[in-house]
Structure 1
Amino acid sequence: MASTIVMGLSAEYTQAQDQLSGVPAANPKTAGMVAPNILTPELEQIVWASGATKLENPTDLIGFYGYNNDGPHMPAPGAVQTAGSTIEASKTEPDKNTYLVLHGQTGPDNHYDYGSRFLFQGHEGGKQGYITRINLEADGLHRTTLMADKDVEGKPLPLFDGSTWYPWAQRLLFTAEAGKNGGVWQATVSYPSAVEDISGIMGRGGYEGIQADAQGNLWIVEDAGGRSGAVNKNAKQPNSFIYRFVPKNKHDLKAGGKLQALQVASKRHAGPIVFNPDDPDGDILSLDVKDLHSYGVTFDTKWIVIHDTDVDGFVPFDANAAAKIKQATPFKRPENGVFRPGTGFREFYFTETGDTNKDTEAGADFGGFGGIFRLAQKNGSSDSWRLSIFYKGGVAHTGFDNIAFWSKNKLVVVEDAGDTLHTQRNALDSAYLFDVNTDYTNPAIQPLRILAQGRDASATFDSPLTDGRPANGFQNDGDNEITGIHISDGDDSVHGLLGARNPRPFRDGWRVFYTQQHGDNVTYEIIPAKQMHLHDHHQWRDDDD
């Protein structure tokens, strides 16, 4: 296979693949055909919850892990989707996972021991948002708990995308990727969860990824699609920003703080790379954007304050608009970011989705297929950071979304390329393993595919219905995507921050989760394949050992 052919090209590349053999190709997209997930042979997966898993404490609207109570899970025979008459229940799309080991947790059943291991997630689809908890040590009747569907003021929760644990305040944080209606909400882990909108402090935007560093700062990655060009009709203007929130009191985020946005210095002219509201085509094919997606080019950056609660108050504000006014630098839909372990939170990697269209006029050179960026601190005492492209996407590797470190040097990145691009390239999504010490400028060296995402029967039925939107009124998504890749030992202390320690999958309490979103909305745990001997530590010896 291709991955074997290029193994000799780089010592680091060889090391990255000496334990996982990979999957040679993505699943093709074939009309009307279901496809199974294919994991690298050394791994297998178990189901913890699916869309049809009943919540132990349903409401009139929310009865299942992945469905609202507004229709059947599958359409009746002969049913025809038309505007104003939906034929199946709204799917609620469980998204980013957060694993925690907690003691003394309760639930709706006061007489039941819920155990100490839990997986939390927000839901980004359906009639409204909500938060669930998968109880990993519970029986089937108590497997999934509805933690909250309203905030402390009684308002329905928005649709949630990202989530993380913030140990200083002992709060889960959830992000809503909803533009001027988006933002950050904090929630207690106790049942029922008390949820508060803190967007008057952190702003409103298309927020998705969110992670804390060792100082308690919150790094927020925005996914806000831009305008198409008048000439470049299949490409989008960069329109999303990387933010950092610096709290006044990390034990109480409601005390306020400063929201900053990343500003990148141009290599072509004096000053920063900025958004030009009246020239989408100019931005799409600008030399600045080309430079950002060019290997070997490193940029100086700085953090600029776009909102300070001491000066600007606590009224919710449009963070995206504020970033543009302050001349922050836009990207092409970055979605999630993580700190590299072992660097003292001085190295941050974030994904960029791109245009999710094979016909994008931007092509790979102008970021049409996105990529992975590396943001590295110049030195330990400075707040100056250097930005460079770590991996430039192409048609076969694009739509990058969720991201997680598998180990000190190995990085898992998953695709959400979307139905259009799946059809164009005849390939469903994949999860890839990158080695951060590998030089990917050589096109012969590519990441190792560890999961070829399949397509379940429900998604196979839904996919052609999405082609008729919005005229047919169909409310659900189509092909499955990979989301919520999460690798953690569940430590709820500051030492458990993602990036604080080297991950050790399948050892010392470290676990790996992801969700096959859309369709049946199944949340899996990845485990070693039985034939690979779970207790053979040599099989999982890593660059950390």
Structure 2
Amino acid sequence: MKKSMRFGLAGAVGLGLGLTAVVAASMPATADLPHRSNAFDVVGVAANPAYGIQQNVLATGISETPVAYGQLPLVNADGGVSHYGFDTSQGGPLTQDPKEAFKTEPDKNVYLVFGAKHYLFQGHEGGPGGYVTRIDLDQPDLSKRVTLMADSRTDGAAVPTFDGITWDPFTHQLLLTAESSAPKGGVFALTLDASGNAVDGKLAPLTALGSGGYEGIQNDAAGNIWLVEDIGGAGASGGKVPNSYLYRFTPTKNTDLSSGTLQALQVIGSNGSPVTAQQLAANPSDPFITALHRYGASFSTKWVTLTLGTSNASTAAAAAAGATPFKRPENGVFRPGSNFGEFYFTETGDTSATSKLPGAFGGVFKLSQKSSTASTGTLSPVYLGDVQHTGLDNISFASKDQLLVVEDAGDGLHTQRNLLDSGYVIALNDRSNKAPAIVRWLGEGRDGSATYDHYTSPGYNDGDNEITGIHVSNGDPSTAGILGAQLPRLGSGGWRAFWTQQHGDNITWELTFGDGSRGGH
């Protein structure tokens, strides 16, 4: 094989190309850039096959530049929390060794602008413990680009690893989710000052929001917190029983998340009765699941209030309250222009080509309400997955009618279908009885480090790359900047797009477009 960047960044180091020089040469500069509309109106590309090292393939007119990568040292390392994508607390070289360091898997992204500073924040999902980092997008000196924001808790307990993240402008906090069952899961807050610095560098558990396998987290304009849970249920027929819920937390005051009401979504079946966890556990092939995964379906919904027990377990409380579980919903966001009346969320499904259960390949669903605070609404499918398009995870709007979704199929399904993960743009047509147009804008590859782990894994680092952290934002930290409040305009008004190629080299990318635009400032 020709010795080139096909080996990924870690491979470049091994070949003596000089990682810092390679990445620095392609780091984006900060400057006002021209307008470009309809950035994701593209011709689709093919997915990569699931063998060996593969390059990322992007649709014509889209390119990417790295803003951070796993081997980048932290400005203020704290022991083994030493690099953007690696934890060296238990020793070992950074990559490609039987005793390599833990890969911390920087996950979802939040872009915020404080004054003249442009930052990208993320929690870390892997390694012995989680932490929060901040990428200074204006900093050309790579040794000063990434700052450790927090790796300890206010109560002194162990820090869990983090998956979801959002910015709460009402409390001026980053909210991060730990995707674990009670009592380790839940939501944690990191308070920032007006300059985007951590006030005390400690994460505070928000117990009023319950403890569950939360992944997706999103605000609405009223200050409520919407949570999307990802917990796989018991195995059945090669798949999993639905076991994850959609939640809404209404704080007593939107400037204080220490108290409030936690609710879960209940779907009403065609017979007029609630669809419950007990019903679906007894029959994972219940006709409701088939009906839900059919274009043109529409079900009434209502929010049911939960009573948290001493364990603070939200999953158990949702089941007890008669809420309706789904097949691993993961992330959600409000549609711009809907006045927070349309909430779109992904359902990953069973991530197995051999599953015989209905709804095995998940999809995208829309919850419509008169307002985000309404007690009732309707649920309908927007896009239904198949074995070639499944494992849908992160989600973001590129425009009012363009929805970006990306896959996390996992290495097992990669092998089953001989396809690596992809990023798609779905053209929302608001015709509920018809599949929308879907185009692959990204055929993700597999870098040298992930390939090494796939074939020679030490057992604690994943052997694939995962698409995560797809994020479109103009960085507005005020309440006017809550995702869904403004219409995205990639290429103008400061709108920018990011994604992270998790595992392996752990690279976070910024997307740029055919005329060189990436949003300006």
TM-score range, shorter-chain basis?
Answer: 0.7 to 0.9
Change beyond 3 A, Cα 1:497–1:379: closer
Q: How does 1:31-430 map to 2 (within 5 A)?
A: 33-69=52-88, 70-76=91-97, 79=98, 87-103=99-115, 116-138=117-139, 139-180=141-182, 181-189=184-192, 190-191=197-198, 193-229=200-236, 232=237, 234-254=238-258, 256-267=259-270, 269-276=271-278, 280=281, 282-307=282-307, 317-362=312-357, 366-378=358-370, 382-430=374-422
Counterpart residue identity of residue 250, structure 1: N
* Long gaps (5+) in structure 1: 1-15, 80-86, 104-114, 467-472, 538-545
Question: How many pairs align?
Answer: 476
Over aligned residues, Cα RMSD in angstroms?
2.2
- Paired residue for 1:543? none
Residues 58 and 443, structure 2, Cα contact 8 Å, conserved in 1:
yes
Q: Which of 484, 505, 509 is the aligned partner of 1:499? A: 484
Classify the secondary structure of the residue corresponding to 1:56.
strand
Note the alpha carbon deviations across 1:208-245, whole angstroms, 9 max, x for none.
Answer: 0011111111110000110002xx1x110000000000
Residues 495 and 518, structure 2, Cα contact 8 Å, conserved in 1:
no
Counterpart residue identity of residue 383, structure 1: S
Indicate yes or no: 2:438 matched with 1:447: yes
Classify the secondary structure of the residue corresponding to 1:271.
coil
Classify the secondary structure of the residue corresponding to 1:55.
strand
Note the alpha carbon deviations across 1:103-149, whole angstroms, 9 max, x for none.
Answer: 3xxxxxxxxxxx61101000000010000000111121210000110
TM-score, normalised via structure 2 length: 0.87
* Long gaps (5+) in structure 2: 1-36
CA distance in 1, matches of 2:519, 2:92: 48
Change beyond 3 A, Cα 1:438–1:34: farther
CA distance in 1, matches of 2:158, 2:441: 38
Counterpart residue identity of residue 288, structure 1: F
- State the Cα distance separating 1:290 from its structure 2 match: 1.1
CA distance in 1, matches of 2:245, 2:254: 23
Note the alpha carbon deviations across 1:128-173, whole angstroms, 9 max, x for none.
Answer: 0000000111121210000110012333321000000000111110
Counterpart residue identity of residue 317, structure 1: N
CA distance in 2, matches of 1:448, 1:415: 13
Select the structure that is richer in strand: 2
Residues 485 and 514, structure 1, Cα contact 8 Å, conserved in 2:
yes
- State the Cα distance separating 1:441 from its structure 2 match: 5.5
- Paired residue for 2:4? none
More deviation, 391-400/21-30: 21-30
Note the alpha carbon deviations across 1:50-109, whole angstroms, 9 max, x for none.
Answer: 000000111221110000113112344xx5xxxxxxx21110000010010013xxxxxx
Residues 235 and 284, structure 1, Cα contact 8 Å, conserved in 2:
no
Change beyond 3 A, Cα 1:415–1:536: closer
Indicate yes or no: 2:26 matched with 1:26: no
Classify the secondary structure of the residue corresponding to 2:317.
helix
- State the Cα distance separating 1:442 from its structure 2 match: 5.2
Change beyond 3 A, Cα 1:389–1:454: same
Residues 336 and 350, structure 1, Cα contact 8 Å, conserved in 2:
yes
CA distance in 2, matches of 1:464, 1:316: 40
- State the Cα distance separating 1:24 from its structure 2 match: 2.7
CA distance in 1, matches of 2:266, 2:387: 28
Note the alpha carbon deviations across 1:405-424, whole angstroms, 9 max, x for none.
Answer: 00011100000001011111
CA distance in 1, matches of 2:109, 2:470: 7
Residues 266 and 275, structure 2, Cα contact 8 Å, conserved in 1:
yes
Q: Which of 447, 456, 467 is the aligned partner of 1:456? A: 447
Note the alpha carbon deviations across 1:267-321, whole angstroms, 9 max, x for none.
Answer: 1x342111128x74x432111111111111110100010038xxx7xx6600000
CA distance in 2, matches of 1:97, 1:499: 16
- State the Cα distance separating 1:535 from its structure 2 match: 9.9
CA distance in 1, matches of 2:240, 2:511: 35
Note the alpha carbon deviations across 1:422-464, whole angstroms, 9 max, x for none.
Answer: 1111111110001111648656x64011111010001011113
Classify the secondary structure of the residue corresponding to 2:415.
helix
CA distance in 2, matches of 1:422, 1:41: 25
Residues 199 and 317, structure 1, Cα contact 8 Å, conserved in 2:
no
- State the Cα distance separating 1:17 from its structure 2 match: 8.2
Classify the secondary structure of the residue corresponding to 1:411.
strand
- Paired residue for 1:475? 460
Classify the secondary structure of the residue corresponding to 1:121.
strand
TM-score, normalised via structure 1 length: 0.83
Note the alpha carbon deviations across 1:179-232, whole angstroms, 9 max, x for none.
Answer: 111000010122365434334200000000011111111110000110002xx1
Residues 175 and 182, structure 1, Cα contact 8 Å, conserved in 2:
yes
Note the alpha carbon deviations across 1:318-356, whole angstroms, 9 max, x for none.
Answer: 000000000100000000000000010000100000000
- Paired residue for 1:5? none
CA distance in 2, matches of 1:380, 1:475: 41
Change beyond 3 A, Cα 1:320–1:352: same
Note the alpha carbon deviations across 1:235-264, whole angstroms, 9 max, x for none.
Answer: 10000000000000111112x000000000
- State the Cα distance separating 1:516 from its structure 2 match: 0.3
- Paired residue for 1:84? none
Classify the secondary structure of the residue corresponding to 2:395.
strand
Classify the secondary structure of the residue corresponding to 1:424.
helix
Classify the secondary structure of the residue corresponding to 2:207.
helix
Indicate the percent of aligned positions where both proteins have the same amino acid: 46
CA distance in 2, matches of 1:536, 1:270: 48
Classify the secondary structure of the residue corresponding to 1:276.
helix
CA distance in 2, matches of 1:460, 1:535: 30
Change beyond 3 A, Cα 1:380–1:117: closer
CA distance in 1, matches of 2:424, 2:379: 22
- Paired residue for 1:7? none
- State the Cα distance separating 1:23 from its structure 2 match: 3.2
More deviation, 173-182/192-201: 192-201
Indicate yes or no: 2:480 matched with 1:488: no
Change beyond 3 A, Cα 1:381–1:218: closer
Counterpart residue identity of residue 299, structure 1: F
